[in-house]
Structure 1
């Protein structure tokens, strides 16, 4: 497959060589690495589960970026750069963790003294600079941000196979046959569930409620932007990490706008080509790719964001990508402002928790059964479905916010918007995939599929997310609003 080849800057965060599955995420995240070698264990087969758990250590760092809710506009570029530097620090800490297992085995304080302690000091220096940049720009930085400097070492929540190196000598450097080629980053058998075992209407998350329904504004507007036939891929994230090469640390599919990378300006987006049939829609719609971990070497097999960070296997394009805007149960909708940015879901929800999670997995023919934290095993003739219902309540003022969330809100249980927010058309993205059903037997999974992720997120299905930037022209946006408010179904 091809990819976006636009010339790009290469900041420090992208220059750090990713180890087996190194990870750096927006100033926070959980880095995992094989911790203790087990080559000298007695009866290693009998003790495999126990020893595998002992071999894995994690570094769980608070997500600084999500705590920054009041950053003046003119300081955001500098703050984004500081967060990218934090990302590189975590990557370096992971490399240190992964290549010093022999020393760790001989010294129980090694990780704390030589990895976590220095990491805390470096993170505190970055936090101090972030505070200074916010205050210089006229904001008021939280004086208590230093509480986010320290990271914790803890075992991973699931056993991982030993696929790392020992002190750089490669003693245990061979790849296990059941690590799916990604250094045992997952997914694992427990990440899958037979769709028949999912209870109908049981999804418990209030995030991503469908806004449309009886009453209010009942129309729809559907835009057809294809399924990435132009092979536009990159591991940037223009919303969350503008100006940072490989800011996502995983690869995205793009439909709609064709000039979308970390360095695209609003002017670039406005002047770009679009894959949408309606040429007035230059919006960018993007999501992490799904891959079938079948041993295929993709174009990015050795690249950051791809195989160098544990995202391996054959990229699967959706067979269908349905992009639909709907109304609000309680009121008419108003036009979205141009260049409005919305992120739904949380790429770091495995470590951040599920407060912002908005994953929804199902199978065709079973879409009354939605699951947030498992990949579905679909019966023969059924296809995998990913659904994202975006936040559709806007603060009426901002096209973005410092943490990329505060300017938007989900509808409430009654379908209305919170006080101070107004209803805009809700974007609903439904992606359908033809995927061979993985074989799950005896606690193992063969040829699994998985969403691309930050390596420390272990390809968990709950980390699925979706991104949108509105670049519709004024006439088209007015048409969308009129169709929805008048109860029509338009294309």
Structure 2
């Protein structure tokens, strides 16, 4: 009889203990991360590639027929030494504070934020030599092995964390058309390149940014490159250059300004304008983990790289730019 009671007591303890363990584990599952985005996951190992394993890209043709505009103009705008960062996006979400949900870095117009207007941009200070008050901006790159210690490094949230890697150099350059002369951009033209939601998009049609290493200028990729020691990690962001001749912006921010075809010919109903190209370089030691700021569901995919531009050049400055390109000169401000 005593043995039976002891066995019954042991059985009850086992049942109760198993139930308690299940409850604890269940609570842990409920309280833990449910999705990769909630955990701030990404990038994935497959998002990285050794640049030496990337095949060389075909040479980019920049010359064409007798009407080609083969000039180029470089605009010296510094490299954001002012620390101009925010989580706004004037082009995509004007008037909405922190509408980008990730941090942007800027050169050019020093006042650019969600509440900028044509009038405020037109009277603001600029980091560009020669008085170009245009706004140029892109998502920051971070080292995920180091915590951010400044306000702008922690304010983005949404899984964007780590120390912001400052740009070692920023190149702002305008190119002509390989097939025809270019016409002036209108003042306050809004432009966008790349796709901030490329990770979840149905296709890579709007993926435009190219990543690379300074020692291999003939190789580019849509993945984060692993660069040899002593080389800089690079990002190149080329903008659309075929304007519809009517609008400075459009629903979706793309239909008023399109990319030319592979041969450089603009789609019907559009006109070639100067092609903006922003090139960024970073000092990133070999093996250091990096991540581009992104929306949480995009998991810091390098394919989501993008950039924005608002043209605030004076008509005189734009005319000088157009003349430089159409007269096949190399110019610098």
TM-score normalized by structure 1? 0.59
Q: CA RMSD in A?
A: 2.3
Q: What aligned pairs does 1:44-443 form with structure 2 within 5 A after superposition?
A: 166-167=29-30, 170=31, 172=32, 183-201=39-57, 212-215=62-65, 216-279=68-131, 281-300=132-151, 303-305=154-156, 308-352=157-201, 353-372=203-222, 374-438=223-287
* 1:454 matched to 2:295: yes
Partners of 1:301 and 1:278 in 2: how far apart?
29
Structure with greater contact order relative to length (CA < 8 Å, sep ≥ 6): 2
Partners of 2:318 and 2:61 in 1: how far apart?
18
**Residue 232 of structure 1 contacts residue 253 of structure 1 at CA under 8 Å; is this kept in 2?**
yes
TM-aligned CA distance change 1:313 to 1:228, over 3 Å:
same
Partners of 1:210 and 1:419 in 2: how far apart?
23
Alpha-carbon deviation of 1:211? 7.8
SS in 2 for 1:190: helix
Alpha-carbon deviation of 1:201? 1.2
- Among 306, 324, 329, which residue is 1:483 paired with? 324
Partners of 1:225 and 1:246 in 2: how far apart?
25
Alpha-carbon deviation of 1:411? 1.1
Unaligned runs of 5+ in 2: 1-20
**Residue 186 of structure 1 contacts residue 459 of structure 1 at CA under 8 Å; is this kept in 2?**
yes
TM-aligned CA distance change 1:487 to 1:370, over 3 Å:
same
Partners of 2:142 and 2:154 in 1: how far apart?
15
Report the number of matched residues: 305
Unaligned runs of 5+ in 1: 1-39, 42-100, 104-164, 174-178, 203-208, 439-446
TM-score normalized by structure 2? 0.86
TM-aligned CA distance change 1:395 to 1:301, over 3 Å:
closer
**Residue 218 of structure 1 contacts residue 328 of structure 1 at CA under 8 Å; is this kept in 2?**
yes
Alpha-carbon deviation of 1:300? 3.7
Select the structure of larger CA radius of gyration: 2
**1:231-253: CA deviations, max 9, x gaps?**
01000000000111111110000
TM-aligned CA distance change 1:183 to 1:302, over 3 Å:
farther
Alpha-carbon deviation of 1:301? 7.3
Alpha-carbon deviation of 1:296? 2.0
TM-aligned CA distance change 1:423 to 1:258, over 3 Å:
same
Partners of 1:191 and 1:219 in 2: how far apart?
36
